[in-house]
Structure 1
Amino acid sequence: MSKRPGSPPGGALIKRARSSAEPEEQQMIISQSNDERNQALIRTVKRTSSLEAPIISLSGSHSAEILSCRFDPSGQNIAACSADRGISLWRTYPPNTNYGLLNTIHKAPTLDLQWSLFSPLLYSVSADHTLAYTDLATGTRVRRLRAHREVINSLDRTLAGGAGVELVATGSDDGTVRVWEGGDEGGKEPVAIFEVGCPVTGVCWSADGANIYASALDNDIHVLDLRKQEQVSVLTGHTDTPTSVSLSPSGTHLLSPSFSSQTIIHDVRPFSTAPNRIHRVLSGAPAGFENTLLKGAWSKEDGGRRVAVGGADRTVTIWDVESSKVQYKLPGHKGTVTAVDFHPKEPIILTASKDGTMLLGEIEPSVI
């Protein structure tokens, strides 16, 4: 057999540099039996992302359960927060280094975080009742607001109108949702305060930044109008507390897991024809008995064709939204999967668990 033109002497193989734009195929040995017919059987696995491997474990930074994890808007970095008070920063792509560990931002478990949409800031909230702004360029906390009277469970951020002002919404056990001006020069007082009347488990902004969706202990999702500074409607359907809320990339639907192990997708378009605005009811992710505030997510690289929620069965469930069918049950963790996020540009899912670790895994792209 003749060598290819340009082959090195002796037939040595040179590994071609991988292009980030061209997912490679990997060969995996799947049998090493004594049967010569099956010995060293090789199967080719088509890669779908630019990750170094189909599954990557991110561990060693936290000594307690991880409660939230998120990609930054570019997809190049990951932030996670933990019951050990720490916030860890990671590279998504090789080398998948843990390049930052912030242990002095909060004095109690850090419950949620969000990357700023346009500045090198990370927003985080804690059981110490505070909202912190951390400058990631220096790793220092630039603002610390005693934002609530009780534990703060959730936060979200949005750009207000076209003015380039970032607003941060926080939801707390004190029964209020509060809105703050983002950036390192915002005021010390909230822009708005909404009285929900019972502990708030999750918050997220509408696509236009005009409304806040707040899940609460009364089993409802409260729709709060920022301009009117009042509640304008309620999304019903849960039989137990919704644990978080997440808006679809199109801004038309709202995802909310719950303690009842049912995940509801609400249609939040102005003229929805869905009964009670319920678009889909999904099953398959057990909430368990620990009352963990599980955080779900929408896929982004395909425009929100899939949603994912972790569960007490130590797996992540991914559904196709329109068919309501389970596409994946992803194992790998040794504890309840508390939070998930999808990469903004590639079919990659990030999962975090009570076992103190995160997993990065590539999935098949959606068939459009």
Structure 2
Amino acid sequence: MAPSLTIEKEFAQTSERVKSVDLHPTEPWMLASLYSGTICIWNYQSQTLEKSIKVTESPVRSVKFVARKHWIITGADDKFIRVYNYNTMEKIKEYEAHTDYIRSVTVHPTLPYLLSCSDDKVIKLWDWEKDWECTQVFEGHSHYVMQVAFNPKDTNSFASASLDGTIKTWNIGSSAPNFTLQGHSKGVNCVDYFVHSDKTYLLSGSDDFTAKVWDYETTSCVQTLEGHENNVTTVSVHPELPIIITTSEDGTVHIWNATTFSLEHKLNYGLERVWAIGHKKGSYKVAFGFDNGTTIVKMNASA
């Protein structure tokens, strides 16, 4: 029997278009990056704006906390990666990382590595202990690379989603992809891993209005999640609950049972298109970024 889920809204803030959100692992902070080029840290306990900084005139499409370094890392349409100390908001590093818009940055869970991907069709690996040297370039996609995600069970490997309609998996240190997943009829916007009963799966979301669940071992699609009425923008598995979350340009958040893949809840906060999801381990909170603001909800499961 699946647990029943109650969803309470804990924080809501209207703003300009939000492209990325992240929750700090220990502080009550939500980080949001805006299409206007600004990043903000909101304290969702006190419901106040802690810090805000204008990064660039271009959209900041991806922003991440690196708690072990007290950093914020941003990737923007001006092709630059920037690193800030989130206590002082001092800029630590700024460098031109790609030749086109940066779509996504993701931080290795333990090593001093950052992955970035771009409309220039490549993925780059950066080592901040080597003064942010680019130590590897991954080429193989034929269109914009929209998102990258590290494999939680094997952090030497990662997956990428591209508007060429494919998902690829890669190993650090190897230039060719391990395998390519094909099945979406349009571009793929997002990718995430999830582990269930010790099996590894990949999740993908596409402009074909669907999300797909892939068996990592057999590289086959085991389920197509249908129900959104526009492009699927983000996919995610909750770190504590057996649920899959998908968001869309249709303005809705769909919550699926991660075992049966049935649609359990459909949320619409009236903030237009949804662009981003943020989680934190050990918490039932989930942050969402929309065209018109941000929301944090708490998901409680009861047997």
- Could you tell me how far apart the structure 1 residues matched to 2:120 and 2:24 are? 30
What is the Cα deviation at residue 322 of structure 1? 1.8
Matched residue type, 1:204: T
Q: What corresponds to 1:118 in structure 2?
A: 26
- Could you tell me how far apart the structure 2 residues matched to 1:148 and 1:172 are? 8
Q: What corresponds to 1:44 in structure 2?
A: none
What is the Cα deviation at residue 300 of structure 1? 4.4
What is the Cα deviation at residue 146 of structure 1? 0.9
Alignment partner of 1:99 out of 10, 17, 20: 10
What is the Cα deviation at residue 347 of structure 1? 2.8
Alignment partner of 1:226 out of 122, 128, 131: 128
Matched residue type, 1:243: M
Mark the CA change 1:304 to 1:147 in structure 2 (over 3 Å): closer, same or farther: farther
What is the Cα deviation at residue 295 of structure 1? 2.4
Matched residue type, 1:110: V
What is the Cα deviation at residue 158 of structure 1? 2.6
Mark the CA change 1:174 to 1:302 in structure 2 (over 3 Å): closer, same or farther: farther
Matched residue type, 2:179: R
Q: What corresponds to 2:44 in structure 1?
A: 136
Mark the CA change 1:301 to 1:155 in structure 2 (over 3 Å): closer, same or farther: farther
Mark the CA change 1:286 to 1:172 in structure 2 (over 3 Å): closer, same or farther: farther
| 3-state DSSP of counterpart to 2:189 | coil
Please give the per-residue CA displacement for 1:24-63, whole angstroms capped at 9, x wherever unaligned: 2xxxxxxxxxxxxxxxxxxxxxx3xx2x2xxxxxxxxxxx
Query: Which TM-score applies when normalising by structure 2?
Result: 0.79
Structure 1 stretches lacking a partner, 5+ long: 1-23, 25-46, 53-92
- Could you tell me how far apart the structure 2 residues matched to 1:158 and 1:248 are? 18
Q: What corresponds to 2:119 in structure 1?
A: 217
Kept in 2, the 8 Å contact 1:121–1:135? The answer is: yes
| 3-state DSSP of counterpart to 2:26 | coil
Bigger proportion of residues as strand: 2
- Could you tell me how far apart the structure 2 residues matched to 1:232 and 1:222 are? 8
Kept in 1, the 8 Å contact 2:190–2:206? The answer is: no
What is the Cα deviation at residue 302 of structure 1? 5.2
- Number of residues of Structure 1 aligned to a counterpart in Structure 2: 258
Matched residue type, 1:232: T
Q: What corresponds to 2:299 in structure 1?
A: none
Q: What corresponds to 2:215 in structure 1?
A: 320
- Could you tell me how far apart the structure 1 residues matched to 2:161 and 2:145 are? 6
Q: What corresponds to 1:190 in structure 2?
A: 91
Matched residue type, 2:178: H
| 3-state DSSP of counterpart to 1:256 | strand
Matched residue type, 1:235: F
Percent of aligned positions with the same letter in both sequences? 19
Mark the CA change 1:256 to 1:139 in structure 2 (over 3 Å): closer, same or farther: same
Alignment of 1:1-368 (within 5 A): 24=1, 47=2, 50=3, 52=4, 93-94=5-6, 96-103=7-14, 106=15, 108-160=16-68, 165-182=69-86, 186-196=87-97, 197-227=99-129, 228-250=131-153, 251-268=155-172, 270=173, 272=174, 276-288=175-187, 294-300=189-195, 305-364=200-259
What is the Cα deviation at residue 316 of structure 1? 0.8
Kept in 2, the 8 Å contact 1:301–1:346? The answer is: no
Please give the per-residue CA displacement for 1:193-228, whole angstroms capped at 9, x wherever unaligned: 231132211100122241110101211001112122
Mark the CA change 1:335 to 1:99 in structure 2 (over 3 Å): closer, same or farther: same
- Could you tell me how far apart the structure 2 residues matched to 1:338 and 1:246 are? 15
Kept in 2, the 8 Å contact 1:201–1:243? The answer is: yes
- Larger RCO (CA within 8 A; separation ≥ 6): 2
| 3-state DSSP of counterpart to 1:335 | coil
Kept in 2, the 8 Å contact 1:215–1:222? The answer is: yes
- Give the aligned CA root-mean-square deviation in angstroms: 2.1
Matched residue type, 2:24: S
- Could you tell me how far apart the structure 1 residues matched to 2:182 and 2:217 are? 14
Query: Which TM-score applies when normalising by structure 1?
Result: 0.66
| 3-state DSSP of counterpart to 1:338 | strand
- Could you tell me how far apart the structure 1 residues matched to 2:163 and 2:41 are? 30
| 3-state DSSP of counterpart to 2:219 | coil
What is the Cα deviation at residue 152 of structure 1? 0.5
Mark the CA change 1:125 to 1:287 in structure 2 (over 3 Å): closer, same or farther: farther
Matched residue type, 1:332: G
Mark the CA change 1:356 to 1:132 in structure 2 (over 3 Å): closer, same or farther: same
- Could you tell me how far apart the structure 1 residues matched to 2:198 and 2:21 are? 23
- Could you tell me how far apart the structure 1 residues matched to 2:27 and 2:176 are? 35
- Could you tell me how far apart the structure 2 residues matched to 1:222 and 1:114 are? 21
Mark the CA change 1:159 to 1:317 in structure 2 (over 3 Å): closer, same or farther: same
- Could you tell me how far apart the structure 1 residues matched to 2:185 and 2:76 are? 24
Mark the CA change 1:362 to 1:144 in structure 2 (over 3 Å): closer, same or farther: same
